Structure 1
Amino acid sequence: MASGARGDQTRAEVIDIEHMTADHWALLDSADAILLGAPTYMGSTAARYGVFLEEAGERWMDLGWKDKLAGGFTVATFPSGDKLATLQRFSIFAAQMGMIWVGPVDIGAPVFPEREGVNADGGWLGLMATSARSRRGAVREGDLETAAQFGARVAGIAQRLRGSDS
């Protein structure tokens, strides 16, 4: 996803929420867009991600993330894997923070057979990926393409909004 978001005028960073620093919080506070992501485990995000959301929630009172773009992504072992519950958690958090939610728009197979693997889980609230269960990669190839396209979509919207502020 970060590879799709990176462009000439776009900076994309991946932050490990288990090792947050003051610099990481400053980076999030200054970002135009924040994509929330975590594996789906036992029907939701892992416990540590809940701690991150609570820490980020400190910005709620002063609307520190108001009008930032937001989106979400998750991965699970099974094609369903209750990924929707994770994305709902992210989107509700973003709504509470006053953020503007963006979902993917990529239509793959079976609608467009030539796009086999793109948005294979049919996720529209956010990016859903499925574990590849192979040594080649952590997720399916089509999910990587969907992630790059989703990152590019969010970056493009952020760039348009920045342009309208000028």
Structure 2
Amino acid sequence: MGDIVICYFSGSRHTARLAETIATAAAESGSASRLVDVAAMTGADWQALDEAAAILFGTPTYMGSAAAGFKSFMDDTSDRWTDQVWADKLAAGFTVATFPGGDKLATLIQLSVFAAQHGMIWVGQDQIGAPVDAANPGINESGAWLGLAATSSRDKTLMVQPGDLETARRFGLRIARAVRRWTT
């Protein structure tokens, strides 16, 4: 089974909390995962990205788009884009913002276009929450299907709303299933 690399930028630890939750779920499912903070990239991190079966992109939504720290990482991938190093890898994205809407869809679109430019195969969200599925209160409350869209919590012990943390856990399981399916 291939590895999952979760690369993210986190201004105030909200995005890091999501990345950690996704990684834990993937590991519980039997997938090896690696967290990469794009603000502190090493040569080994770039190598892990190049060798991964799936790369997840995570960034807070600031002012309706990916945070500048993540955008810098995106720009740094131009040589990989030219050579299509990441072509045919699975890709997915996640973001967090202060408000339930918070223009998070604009960020997910930005991430999916970035992945498409690299020739990657995008994996979206599959969780149906309430009110459609009353058994899933708090799940995918943003109603985003392109990726994981979470809302930050004012409770800094949580960082992210509890339902969104559970949605992140399920998203990690989905990514692990997709990696198994595409790499076996």
Measured against the shorter chain, the TM-score band is over 0.9
**Which structure 2 residues correspond to residues 67-146 of structure 1 after superposition, within 5 A?**
67-146=88-167
> Residue 87 of structure 2 contacts residue 119 of structure 2 at CA under 8 Å; is this kept in 1?
yes
In the TM superposition, residue 42 of structure 1 has moved relative to its aligned partner by: 0.8
Helix, strand or coil for the counterpart of 2:125? coil
Structure 2: give runs of 5+ residues left out of the alignment.
1-21
2:49 aligned with 1:16 = no
Helix, strand or coil for the counterpart of 2:82? coil
Moved over 6 A (4+): none
Task: State the identity as a percent.
Answer: 52
In the TM superposition, residue 5 of structure 1 has moved relative to its aligned partner by: 1.3
* CA distances 1:83-129 after superposition (whole Å, capped 9, x unpaired): 01110110000000000000010001001122110101101001000
Structure 1: give runs of 5+ residues left out of the alignment.
none
Distance 1:50 1:135, change over 3 A: closer
Q: How many residues align?
A: 163
How many Å separate the matches in 1 of 2:114 and 2:48?
A: 19
**Which structure 2 residues correspond to residues 154-165 of structure 1 after superposition, within 5 A?**
154-163=175-184
How many Å separate the matches in 2 of 1:55 and 1:82?
A: 25
> Residue 57 of structure 1 contacts residue 97 of structure 1 at CA under 8 Å; is this kept in 2?
no
Aligned to 2:65: 44
In the TM superposition, residue 9 of structure 1 has moved relative to its aligned partner by: 4.0
> Residue 29 of structure 2 contacts residue 173 of structure 2 at CA under 8 Å; is this kept in 1?
no
2:183 partner amino acid: R
> Residue 138 of structure 2 contacts residue 162 of structure 2 at CA under 8 Å; is this kept in 1?
yes
> Residue 29 of structure 2 contacts residue 176 of structure 2 at CA under 8 Å; is this kept in 1?
no
The CA RMSD over aligned residues, in Å, is 1.1
Distance 1:137 1:9, change over 3 A: closer
How many Å separate the matches in 1 of 2:131 and 2:30?
A: 35
Which structure's CA Rg is the greater one?
1
1:128 partner amino acid: A
Relative to the length of structure 2, the TM-score reads 0.86
From the two aligned structures, give the one with the greater strand fraction.
2
In the TM superposition, residue 10 of structure 1 has moved relative to its aligned partner by: 1.2
Relative to the length of structure 1, the TM-score reads 0.94
> Residue 153 of structure 2 contacts residue 160 of structure 2 at CA under 8 Å; is this kept in 1?
yes
Helix, strand or coil for the counterpart of 1:115? coil
2:133 partner amino acid: F
How many Å separate the matches in 2 of 1:93 and 1:67?
A: 13
